Structure 1
Amino acid sequence: MAAELTNYLHSLARRLHLEPAEEQDILLELEGHLEDKAAELESQGLDRAAAYQLAVQEMGAPDRVANGMYKVHSPIVWRDVILATLPHFLLAALFALHLWSHYFLVTLLVIGIALVTWKNWRAGNPSKWSYSWMGYSLAAPTLSWLLALITLSYGGWTLVTTGHLPFNIVLFFLLVGYVPFSMWIVFRVGRKVMRRDWLLASLTALPFPFLTSWVLFLDWQGGLWASGAEGKQSSDTSLAFIFLALAVTTAVFLKIGPRLIKIGLLTLTTAILVTISAVSLPVSLNVVAIFMMIVASVVFLLSPAVVESKRNQRHYRQAAMESTGLESAGEVVTHWFCNTT
């Protein structure tokens, strides 16, 4: 197979973001079509390299072709939409009914969400609806890591300024061990989430800004476990509304086709809901602070795109070098799609 065709198919494969089996069928069909077109052009007098180059040009840019395929093959059934929105509805109910301070109930909910996520992800080919479940599964280690880091910082500062720790030294060393461990878990799982589609990874991260701001507010008020935490429910109604809005956003995200509209949906929803969240907190925040919160949340939400872009660039360079090397050695490249993982 010509290097031109190999690079084109590699580029297309990284942009399809469909089910692996479906991607393979589509790419094999396109490969056959391009091979036939190149053979036809060769029979008309073009040399082999020029024939492949013209066949690829006539097929169109990988972005445009991938977007067209994505629109046709990405629609999701309503059953999956309902499943995807379920964890958002559960969180909305938790705040609407002021049940978040019932820690046993919250623990059961977190364990249940984690088990559903694990069951769907363990086979290595998760359904699209499970990405929202993964978001809440990752929230527990992520937020606990954040709180542990805050506690360590406070303990370290107190130790430096006063000469003693504000809590037990055993707890201090447990936190020292937990912080890198939880980071490792989140990083490892996060890589798997982003491997399929950065946009689905952004959907996974959708509730993080709101859960983070809520947990930080509680910590600022004395901590999640402090006495009187049950009374800190002034923002429960707005949080319930936010998670209902996240459920609606998730449903729309999964049903619409164009990726650009999905990106706009996530960005706009995040900006609006971060503003509502900031205004609902019983603290005084100026416009600049709210704007910075919006920017930070949107950047965080779209950061998987940067990670995937860098990963794709490395992959394209490697694929180009491999295909060029194989061609120069006179070898035939087959099953090229096996090298895309």
Structure 2
Amino acid sequence: MIQKWLKWLKVLPAAIFAVMTLAGCENYVVLQPKGPVAKTEYDLIVFTSLVCLGIILVVFALLFYIIWRYRDKPDNKAPYQPEWDDNKTLEIVWWSIPIVICLILGYSTAKTTYALAKGTGLHDSNKQAVTIQATSLDWKWLFTYPDDKVASVNEVVIPAGVPVKFELTSDAPMNSFWVPSLGGQIYTMPGMSMGLYLKADKPGVYYGSGANFSGEGFAHMKFKVIAKPENEYKQWVAQVKKSSPALTEKGYETLSKPGLTDKAFYSSYPNGLFEKIVKKNGGDFYKMHHMDTYKTHPDFGKDSEKDENGGSEMNMDMSH
């Protein structure tokens, strides 16, 4: 038995070296954070991995020790105790340790998750968060900018160094919005409006993708996230307003039908489009728990009040 374990121990360094060498063949963007959200999640991954590694090392150390210490020997004088069945002290120890480990991992994960959900730590300056609404379709992504009144498809431009609050929904099967260099993924679901804060430290182009199987064209649901300096971002908005066509109600109907499309930009889009998509699929945009910030917005409730009075209901037949 000992010789067998020694044989495996000789192979272990070679296996570790092979894994480390092959790891350099891939660009693991998840482990290369480019923003504070991704960095926080990376630190959590590292912390969790170290805790798990510590557990593995202790368990294997105890395993080898027990095999060696309690091996059968010719001079074994250990007492024979056929009636022995438990040891309260040992049971308390070996049940307490995993409970404490689970509490540590659970607390750190929950604390980090709730902080990121609220955007804690991103508002370290006087810069107001930019809101971008993302809608997953078959099989493309529609991004609308409620602050700037422009829209884009399969490409989203954000200001570098500024918090971005993504509001996400789906007008197709459930999907998952993921920009691994900037943060974790979150699902987009019909009738629901989910929230996700991201922030890019520096200008750059980042990979984004739908990370949930959603049918025939799901592999093509990729998009670019382009982070520009604030002045260039404002120039981009002005350029889109000047040179791009408007997204009309009929245009959205066509866009929302299953199929692939290239990137596109729109100088405007129908008022309340995102909210209408949420309501159309059975949700209530203004009652979503993560939309509490809208209650303090000066325009909060105006659209819904107008809808009740029949004044601003957008006539959109978006069924398909």
Give the TM-score normalised by the residue count of structure 1.
0.27
Larger RCO (alpha carbons 8 Å, 6+ apart): 1
Name the one with the larger helix percent. Answer: 1
Give the TM-score normalised by the residue count of structure 2.
0.28
Name the one with the larger strand percent. Answer: 2
